[in-house]
Structure 1
């Protein structure tokens, strides 16, 4: 089976891009499957406007040639123009329509449909997968939402780890990240260090110096990276969202406090030791999830 994954150039600081590239790599470890990346264009995520058209032209001139991949992963980039007739294309939920004009479309919901674009423009006869339990069920006539989650994670455990005796050198009281949490009121203390936009290495250095990390983004992996670095990690709750709305599955909340209540801080401290083991299990589970998804795709499209 030939699978083509519609993705942006590799960026280790973008969780969505990272897992699309990781999916390609994992599929290429399976017998009887081949996967390629296809460069996503700016116009594929929303309706055209002058800025997006200009971005599209710039991408064709410069971005297409500079498409980056992770050199440690098996993620070839499709350069041969038209896709083969038996192609299965995987689009993230931010992609509207069917820009590659594929006959077999899989839509992967890495976030709630329409959250980033304000537009939901999906086709008929598609197979949909949710990334995890935090994604709401979504249904439309003539397409199918799988009952199995396609959760693929990759955490750079070599970068995010505490230094022996680091607690004695935590001179920074707090650091924080906003990312997709711009709608939430500021609750971090004066003097807190903003870490948005830092590289993984820079982020790890801050986490090893900080006592507390506050995330306004409900779902960024940096909350877990902070825990791995020995830093207390707190997620600012969204308005009207309970803890089970946030993450229904308890193991997804290990090491994290949802808000500042003492009970949540105690939970985070008590479960912090489970995070590394959980991540290793999730890496293996990611591989199994891909195997299961490929089997379902084969059956759905009679491949």
Structure 2
């Protein structure tokens, strides 16, 4: 097995947490496209050199809990990085990770949300890093002035597909990260709407196939797209200070989604375009991954650049 060129610093896979899903997806896609990659569990100590008690205690705790054995990679092939793999590899951290826990000389930072969003505004990055963003709205030009450093990957859960092609009734809503939106009241949905936040994927897909509309207080959750795939109109509760163009600049990526109730007509008209775009997505995402690798190699002076 070839030594990893990329090591993805990630928590265990969780099918309900989008950030975890895409980190594991990146590792899988890199391997599929011929770029050796492995995962580094976030709880795994950065070194085996346990000369000091805090480091030794952490290492012993990691072994005692058998964290690596229980580290889930979900539906993806399992490949966990070894200590000797760190030398020369590019480590990929999500934006919420402070500093450089693995002490890598090559750090790629992936903005899975706006830097500082999950850390109370604190941003702790190091010199010489290269930055990529999942959504254009997640990029901070003051940190990353390169608008072409776009790296977006999707994992489509097979539970979400339209099974009801007949009458529908009722509405549902999802809150998720919408709870963190300042001053937003969770009151835009009808009083009898069903909350889908704590449901399993199968339960949520069944609700999406029953209801006419989903009210989403989380402006970026993929559940809005999943609702559209099930034939339910996703209504994203808008930020009054953010236009639809600012929310998602690429109109193709707004297909099937209503940014506010006045956009319901747009969502219904463009749903067929959403389905076609999803069919084209895999080829586009492979291009993103190739571009990501090329940019990292150029940035760090790889011989393969």
Q: TM-score range by the shorter chain?
A: 0.7 to 0.9
Structure 1's 11 and 247: CA in aligned 2 closer, same or farther, altered over 3 A? same
Of 166, 170, 173 in structure 2, the residue corresponding to residue 176 of structure 1 is 173
Aligned to 1:100: 102
Aligned to 1:296: 295
Q: Structure 1 unaligned runs (5+)?
A: 45-55
Q: What is the correspondence of 1:192-207 to structure 2 with a 5 Å cutoff?
A: 192-207=193-208
Q: Structure 2 unaligned runs (5+)?
A: 47-57
Structure 1's 58 and 115: CA in aligned 2 closer, same or farther, altered over 3 A? farther
Aligned to 1:48: none
Deviation at 1:37, TM superposition (A): 0.5
Q: Deviations over 1:73-111 (max 9, x none)?
A: 234112x33543211100010111000110100000111
- Indicate whether 1:215 and 2:254 are aligned: no
Give the whole-Å Cα distance in 1 for the aligned partners of 2:45 and 2:258. Answer: 38
Q: Which has the higher relative contact order, 1 or 2, with Cα contacts under 8 A spaced 6 or more apart?
A: 1
Q: Is 1:212–1:232's contact at 8 Å kept on the other side of the alignment?
A: yes
Instruction: Give the secondary structure class of the aligned counterpart of 1:134.
Output: helix
Deviation at 1:181, TM superposition (A): 0.7
Q: Is 1:127–1:146's contact at 8 Å kept on the other side of the alignment?
A: no
Give the whole-Å Cα distance in 1 for the aligned partners of 2:147 and 2:250. Answer: 18
Q: Alignment length, in residue pairs? A: 281
Q: Is 1:92–1:109's contact at 8 Å kept on the other side of the alignment?
A: yes
TM-score (norm 1): 0.86
Give the whole-Å Cα distance in 2 for the aligned partners of 1:111 and 1:7. Answer: 15
Q: Is 2:115–2:140's contact at 8 Å kept on the other side of the alignment?
A: no
Instruction: Give the secondary structure class of the aligned counterpart of 1:198.
Output: coil
Deviation at 1:139, TM superposition (A): 2.9
Aligned to 2:261: 260
Q: Is 1:177–1:215's contact at 8 Å kept on the other side of the alignment?
A: yes
Q: Deviations over 1:138-197 (max 9, x none)?
A: 334xx87462311111222x32111153x32x24x1100000111321211111111002
Instruction: Give the secondary structure class of the aligned counterpart of 2:149.
Output: coil
Instruction: Give the secondary structure class of the aligned counterpart of 1:293.
Output: helix
Structure 1's 144 and 191: CA in aligned 2 closer, same or farther, altered over 3 A? closer
Pick which of 278-287 and 81-90 moved more. Answer: 81-90
Q: Is 1:28–1:74's contact at 8 Å kept on the other side of the alignment?
A: no
Aligned to 2:50: none
Q: What is the correspondence of 1:51-62 to structure 2 with a 5 Å cutoff?
A: 60=62, 61-62=64-65
Give the whole-Å Cα distance in 1 for the aligned partners of 2:61 and 2:253. Answer: 37
Aligned to 1:50: none
Give the whole-Å Cα distance in 1 for the aligned partners of 2:21 and 2:15. Answer: 6
Structure 1's 59 and 7: CA in aligned 2 closer, same or farther, altered over 3 A? farther
Give the whole-Å Cα distance in 2 for the aligned partners of 1:253 and 1:145. Answer: 23
Deviation at 1:132, TM superposition (A): 2.3
Q: Is 2:131–2:149's contact at 8 Å kept on the other side of the alignment?
A: no
Q: Is 1:127–1:145's contact at 8 Å kept on the other side of the alignment?
A: no
Aligned to 2:19: 16
- Indicate whether 1:152 and 2:153 are aligned: yes
Structure 1's 136 and 208: CA in aligned 2 closer, same or farther, altered over 3 A? same
Give the whole-Å Cα distance in 1 for the aligned partners of 2:283 and 2:301. Answer: 27
Q: Deviations over 1:276-301 (max 9, x none)?
A: 11112122211111011101111111
Structure 1's 82 and 178: CA in aligned 2 closer, same or farther, altered over 3 A? same
